[in-house]
Amino acid sequence: MILIINYGSQVTHLIKRRLRGLGVEATIKQPEQVADADFITNDAFILSGGPESVSSQTVLNKKIFTSDKPILGLCFGHQLIAQEFGGAVEQSKTRQYGAAKLTVLDKTDLFAGLDEEQMVWMSHGDSVSELPKQFRVIGKSEDCNHVAIAHYEKKIFGLQFHPEVEHTKNGTQILHNFVKIAGIKPTLTVRNRIQTIITDIQTNVGNASVIMGVSGGVDSLVASYLLHQAIGDHLFCVYVDTGLMRKEETQEVQTIYDTLQFSHFAVVNASELFLKKLYYIADPEEKRKIIGHTFIEIFESTVGKYAQQNKKIQFLGQGTIYPDRVESSQATNSSAKIKSHHNLTLPENMKLKVVEPLRDLYKDEVRQLGKELGINEDYLNRHPFPGPGLAIRVVGPIDKEKIDIVRQADHIFITELKKANLYKDVWQALVALLPIKTVGVMGDARTYEYMISLRAVTSSDAMSADWAKLPNDFLQMVSNKIINLVSGVNRVVYDITQKPPGTIEYE
């Protein structure tokens, strides 16, 4: 077991996620939560990155450094180690954010199996300016002489970069080496993780019933399947047609749940209600809150109907996964809010308690669970689709005409990706309607119509993403089809923004 001490980095949970991938169990705690028992139950410690300077950080359980347990400090944690052992940390003359070249000076222990030069991901304004006594430098970069340091006797290591992110090419190997140094044996498997989730559901829900809104997307499908495995016919799945769905989505979802033989599955057509409440709403946060609250109104109304049949529904099931909570500032006390998530904007007076089987998992882990559960891979490999649906793909004010434009353009884009055998190579593809009109020429006549943005990204966990390098002739063909077939559009652009700095969705 490894204890990760969280100093507020947006990517702290990726450390736990990478360790899980190595079969190693880990927990995350805030610095003030570390207790004496943690020094008995844990085999090693990892100190995360964070947004603060070590000069302003006051919370530190110094027993960590006298516990004789291996320690790995990352970015802020690296600087904390240096300062605690008598080194110096100063504001860097050159800040480093993004890719950097690491020169490995010692290819044993932490860097075993790595080449002399490595691409790593930096995110810092401070750096270690003076090395603590008894520590040695094991890695440097052009702008930083103390990128990696080690105290071999105490098995304490510090890295100025983040091995947990995908941009650090061999970051997982570095974490694997630390696990090996700590003498920890991998024990976690997908199968025992499934059993743990099912047991937790049964313990928390007991003999009560759960109502769950499902979309047919990977997250809600796997979450509902786990709930069904755990509580059987005590699960009531409700698919709400919001009028914000993709073309033919309702029929596809009905087929999926019929095929998987869920005990209770109902379709509620609430498109007029949602469109009425969202009419001409422009603010993305307000859109999400309206959608989240309207879902709850429908669920609680449905619960009332089931109650007349003596069904004891006390819980609301949700397919929230970890990236949803990170961007919604629900992951830690100190992480920054990027956007709210419809699953997390619930009314305070809601009568239902929430159960989230996947709240600590990433999309690729959800797919692994689904595959182990025997769910058809065609269902699992569907691109993510947001709960608020097309509402957050109309940037700015919403009306029915704009929703219809996005729906038609989306159908063309996704259909052509599948025809060209490109769909499986893309993590997520979407169409967004931008809140501007541009001049065009169609049939020798002047037009003044909307601009559509195509977006397709590659990723493994949605915490970071790169734009998909789709063939130029394919993009040209899709652009022509959308302009020719979708009324109201005269210009199509392709978004080549990475995440970060952008997000995958527009709102």
Task: Let me know if 293 is a catalytic residue.
Answer: no
Superfamily of domain 190-380: HUPs (3.40.50.620)
CB 121 within 8 A of CB 110: no
191 in helix, strand or coil? helix
Task: Let me know if 162 is a catalytic residue.
Answer: yes
Q: Where are the domains of the chain?
A: 2-181, 190-380, 394-494
Record the tokens describing residue 327, joined without a space.
Answer: 């961007």
What's the sign of the alpha-carbon dihedral 270, 276, 280, 283?
A: negative
- pLDDT 10s digits, 8-63: 888 898 899 899 999 999 999 998 899 889 899 999 999 999 888 887 756 677 78
Per-residue pLDDT of the chain (507 residues; tens, 9 = 90+): 999 999 988 889 889 989 999 999 999 999 889 988 989 999 999 999 988 888 775 667 778 888 889 999 999 999 999 998 999 888 776 666 678 899 999 998 999 999 999 999 887 678 888 999 999 999 998 888 899 999 999 999 999 999 998 889 899 999 999 999 999 999 989 999 999 999 999 999 999 999 998 988 899 999 999 999 999 999 999 999 999 999 999 999 999 999 999 989 999 999 999 999 999 999 999 999 999 889 888 877 887 777 676 568 899 999 998 877 765 544 444 444 444 544 445 556 677 899 999 998 888 899 999 999 999 999 999 998 888 899 999 999 999 999 999 999 999 999 999 999 999 999 999 999 999 999 998 877 888 999 999 999 999 777 788 999 999 999 999 999 999 999 999 999 999 999 988 889 998
Topology agreement, domain 190-380 and domain 394-494: no
What's the sign of the alpha-carbon dihedral 136, 142, 144, 147?
A: negative
Q: Does domain 2-181 have CATH number 3.40.50.880?
A: yes
**Residue 363: in which H helix or E strand, if any?**
helix 363-372
Q: What is the CATH number of domain 394-494?
A: 3.30.300.10
Beta-carbon contacts of residue 102 (< 8 Å; ≥ 6 apart): 117, 118, 119, 120, 139, 140, 141, 147, 148, 161
Active-site residue (options: 13, 144, 151, 164): 164
Q: Residue 46's beta-bridge partner residues?
A: 4, 72
Active-site residue (options: 13, 75, 151, 365): 75
How far is it, in rounded angstroms, from Cα 201 to Cα 307? 22
Q: Which amino acid is at 419?
A: K
At residue 10, what are phi and psi to the nearest 5 degrees?
Answer: -65, -20
Beta-carbon contacts of residue 349 (< 8 Å; ≥ 6 apart): none
Establish whether the linkage from the previous residue to 501 is cis, with ω within 30° of 0. yes
- pLDDT 10s digits, 139-182: 998 888 899 999 999 999 999 999 998 889 899 999 999 999 99
At residue 14, what are phi and psi to the nearest 5 degrees?
Answer: -65, -25
- pLDDT 10s digits, 98-121: 788 999 999 989 999 999 999 998
Active-site residue (options: 13, 124, 151, 162): 162
Record the tokens describing residue 480, joined without a space.
Answer: 């022509």
